[in-house]
Amino acid sequence: MKKTVFLFAISCLTALTYISCSSNDSDVANQADTTAVGASVAIDAATQMDINTGLAVTTSSPTAKSAAAVCATITVSEGGYPKVYTVDYGTAGCADNQLTRKGKLEITLSGPITTTGSKLTIKRIDYSINGIKLEGTIEYTNTTTVATVPQWSRTVTNGKFTDLQGRVYLNSGSHTVKQTAGVDTPFVLEDNVYEMTEGTHTVTTEKGATLTLTVQETLVKKYSCLFISKGKLKVEGGFLKGVIDYGNNDCDNNFTYTHESGVTYSLSM
């Protein structure tokens, strides 16, 4: 069975820790830095997953609603906008495609998400994915100015990620997301391509170490691919100062980290 983005992202904590264990360059990384990078990858994957759930639940497409309701109980407020949706996975949790979610997502939609100015707000309530606790609020706001190029801002506030070992990572950030393909087929997701053109994400460990990841070159994410296929992130924090490169638009799970010293490490999620 194909694993999900989130499961692969979790494995990044192990993959990136390997840098500090195997490198002969003592200035490249330390344990706190590398686990923060892995946590950042998982945080980003979980954020996108929850946005996709919000979009599926609030869409007018019956097919998308059915997909979102595979194992959750969904209720919606009566009347017009703003509409409040509650996606309840229960205290025991329910599983779908190797993911067990527990708790609730409270989703507020101020207007049709395809309308400029409309905002989708997602609050996590006692919420976890595969035992990893996620807190905070996600805001996904339509900022489109050209109808043929839909655009949104994606902002995370008061984010908190608690891993299976009990390590806590505070996180926040804001990015600009544009849809560059599939606009003419709104109910066919497989041909959609999204570009994250700018933005910064900050992760702070419980020890106070801060890692900042900034879009250096536009990140490309195809709906049909599990992972980002192209683009670069600038990484800064502690001993980590370098660039993550996702490659040449191939649909794979490979990427590289190049330290400022020029040393390059090939990694995979």
The rounded distance, in Å, linking the Cα atoms of 104 and 94 is 11
Whose structure tokens read 């390590």?
A: 167
pLDDT band of 185, cuts 50, 70, 90: confident
Q: Report the pLDDT value the prediction gives residue 61, as an integer from 0 to 100.
A: 52
pLDDT band of 255, cuts 50, 70, 90: confident
**Residues 202-209, mean pLDDT to the nearest whole number:** 90
- Per residue in 227-253, pLDDT tens? 788 999 999 987 888 898 989 998 887
Paired strand residues for 76: 85
Q: Report the pLDDT value the prediction gives residue 69, as an integer from 0 to 100.
A: 55
CA distances (Å), origin 28, targets 13, 37, 64, 160, 199: 16, 13, 44, 26, 24
3 state DSSP class of 106:
strand
Residue 68 has pLDDT above 80, yes or no: no
Q: Report the pLDDT value the prediction gives residue 27, as an integer from 0 to 100.
A: 42
Q: Report the pLDDT value the prediction gives residue 21, as an integer from 0 to 100.
A: 36
Domain boundaries, the chain: 5-268
Q: Is 53 exposed, middle or buried (0-12, 13-18, 19+ CB in 10 A)?
A: buried
The rounded distance, in Å, linking the Cα atoms of 112 and 47 is 21
Residue 25 has pLDDT above 60, yes or no: no
- Per residue in 150-165, pLDDT tens? 999 999 999 999 999 9
- Per residue in 107-137, pLDDT tens? 999 999 889 999 999 999 999 999 999 999 9
Q: Is 143 exposed, middle or buried (0-12, 13-18, 19+ CB in 10 A)?
A: middle
What are the tokens at 91? 């205290």
**Residues 174-198, mean pLDDT to the nearest whole number:** 88
Residue 49 has pLDDT above 90, yes or no: no
Average pLDDT, the chain: 82
Q: Report the pLDDT value the prediction gives residue 169, as an integer from 0 to 100.
A: 95
Q: Are 61 and 69 in contact (CB under 8 A)?
A: no
**Residues 182-211, mean pLDDT to the nearest whole number:** 88
**Residues 182-190, mean pLDDT to the nearest whole number:** 79
3 state DSSP class of 197:
strand
Q: Report the pLDDT value the prediction gives residue 22, as an integer from 0 to 100.
A: 40
* Residue of higher predicted confidence among 263 and 216: 216
* Residue of higher predicted confidence among 146 and 67: 146
If you ran DSSP here, which 8-state letter would residue 192 be given? Answer: -
* Residue of higher predicted confidence among 180 and 28: 180
Q: Which helix (H) or strand (E) holds 9?
A: helix 5-22
